Structure 1
Amino acid sequence: MSGSRELKERLRTARGRPLASQRWLTRQINDPYVHEARKQGYRSRAAFKLIQLDQRFHLLKPGLRVLDLGAAPGGWAQVAAHRVGSSGAVVAVDILAMAPIPNVAILELDFLAADAERMVLAALGGPVDLVLSDMAPPATGHKQTDHLRIMALCEAAADFATRVLAPGGGFVCKVWQGGTESSLLGGLKRRFAQVRHAKPEASRKESAETYLVATGFKG
């Protein structure tokens, strides 16, 4: 990445801010992916995680129907829309409101709602080729609790994916490294031809996040 040089800017507005807030802001202003996201017009640095996963696994192709779960603020949906092109379709789902994204249909919706499956399939015009989930619940600061919460969210996303995916489709989901993934992995391995772990370069080294990439949905 062209913006991968180390930046060493100091926070100029630290007075009155909690220490945790100061650390987060300092990290942001010195993060090359934050700078590059602004430069390229992406809504978040997370866009580069999907770009790097796509470079490795070739997930996004012209003409695909893509569903982005928990899409706000929309960085992954932006990448997906660009790569599937005008012949494809992208639906972004989130309980939070989002500003419009070119060539993306936005549903302000809880994907766990009873009518979510119907609404997604209607918006995409048919079964989904790729389900993306970069969702994470608000952190509590308790490592084990946060891990269990994100795994529950990932399991819900995986269940939803198996109900809307077309045969041969794929599923990408953020998980936390921690050791309670066996049931999720077992289920995915039964339903998909291949399941792999990946940690893109854009994921911060200190973060416990990694991604499950499941391809070849068996239907």
Structure 2
Amino acid sequence: MAKKEKKSSGRGLRDLTVKVKTARGRKMSSTLWLQRQLNDPYVSRANAEGMRGRAAYKILELDDKFRFLVPGARVVDLGCAPGGWLQVAVPRINALGDKSGKKVGTLLGVDLQEVEAVAGAEVHQLDFMEDDADQKVKDWLGGKADVVMSDMAASASGHKQTDHLRIMALCEAAAYFAFDVLDEGGTFVAKVLAGGAEGDLQKLLKQKFTKVVNVKPPASRSDSSEKFVVATGFRG
């Protein structure tokens, strides 16, 4: 009798768990990180589909739920490195104009790091927290935006509360930029870390948008404190 083939879980491309031995000179934390990467279905999927990292699926899943990346949308992606969110946005907003009969969208990416070009997106290297950075982005945009999305994150310090405050400062900077450039009815999406200080941002967003929700998409690791705030219906 033939051996029954093992079925895939459906969430990824890898059925077997890969274990990594600790090599000489490699810290245990590095070994555990490598093992997690090798067994992460989203990492496998990103490699198979040519996406620049598993984070691409976070914005994909958020857009599947809230539908803000539509043909013709004018989108700003803050903290766009390595470019996964740009890859997802380009076809959805029809930035290349290859969807006949659909409006053509505009996509602007900004990051502190240099980002490899993505067809259909305009990308600039810039520290968004420096003076007049927001004005530079507005000049590049050349008008209003329909969506401002931010995946900005500060370098980890190892101190949970410090990291939380740093990322919340980035989120607030992104939010105030969104208030300045969003068209009426626009959407703001940003990564935050659970830790207490996000309450003030929530209150601020609820004054400016008709609906504000917190979401942890399936692509966000369960052991991570990150979540995403999605604010829709900008009041103008």
What TM bracket, shorter-length normalisation? over 0.9
Give the number of the structure whose alpha-carbon radius of gyration is greater: 2
CA deviations 1:118-175 (Å, max 9, x no partner) are 4323433321110111121111222212111111111111111111111111100011
The aligned counterpart of 2:7 is: none
The residue type paired with residue 69 of structure 1 is: L
User: Residue type matched to 1:176 in 2?
Assistant: L
Is structure 2 residue 180 aligned with structure 1 residue 163? yes
Quote the residue 2:66 is aligned against.
Answer: 57
How far residue 2 of structure 1 moved from its aligned partner, in angstroms, is 5.0
Contact 2:113 2:125 in 1 (8 A): yes
Corresponding residue SS for 2:154: coil
Cα distance, 1:68 vs structure 2: 0.5
Matched residue, 2:148: 131
Using the TM superposition, name which of 96-105 and 114-123 deviates more. 114-123
Contact 1:121/1:128, CA 8 A, preserved across alignment: no
1-side partners of 2:144 and 2:186: how far apart? 9
Matched residue, 1:200: 217
Query: Which range moved further: 2-11 or 42-51?
Result: 2-11
Provide the C-alpha distance between the structure 1 equivalents of 2:51 and 2:150, rounded to a whole number of angstroms: 17
Alignment partner for residue 81 of structure 2, among 50, 72, 75? 72
Aligned residue pairs: how many? Answer: 219
TM-score with structure 2 length normalisation? 0.87
Whether the aligned pair in 2 keeps the contact of 1:6 and 1:32 (CA below 8 Å) is: no
Q: Judge conservation of contact 2:78–2:110 (CA < 8 Å) in 1.
A: yes
Quick one: which of 20, 23, 27 aligns to 2:36?
27
Q: Which moved more, 1:164-173 or 1:141-150?
A: 141-150
- In structure 2, stretches of 5+ residues that fail to align are 1-9, 98-103
- Which letter maps to 2:34? L
Counterpart mapping for 1:97-112 below 5 A: 97-112=114-129
- Please tell me whether the aligned partners of residues 14 and 39 of structure 2 are also in contact (alpha carbons under 8 angstroms): no
- Residues in 2 aligned to 1:115 and 1:148: alpha-carbon distance in whole angstroms: 22
Change (3 A) 1:29 1:134: same
Distance 2:207 2:54 in 1: 33
Q: Output the CA distance in 2 between the equivalents of 1:141 and 1:166.
A: 38
Q: 1:118 to 1:180 in 2, by over 3 A?
A: closer
Moved over 6 A (4+): none
CA contact (8 A) 1:68 1:90 kept: yes
Give % identity: 52
One-letter amino acid of the counterpart of residue 28, structure 1: Q
Question: Secondary structure of 2:186's match?
Answer: strand
TM-score normalized with structure 1 length: 0.94
Q: Is the 8 A contact 1:7 1:31 kept in 2?
A: no
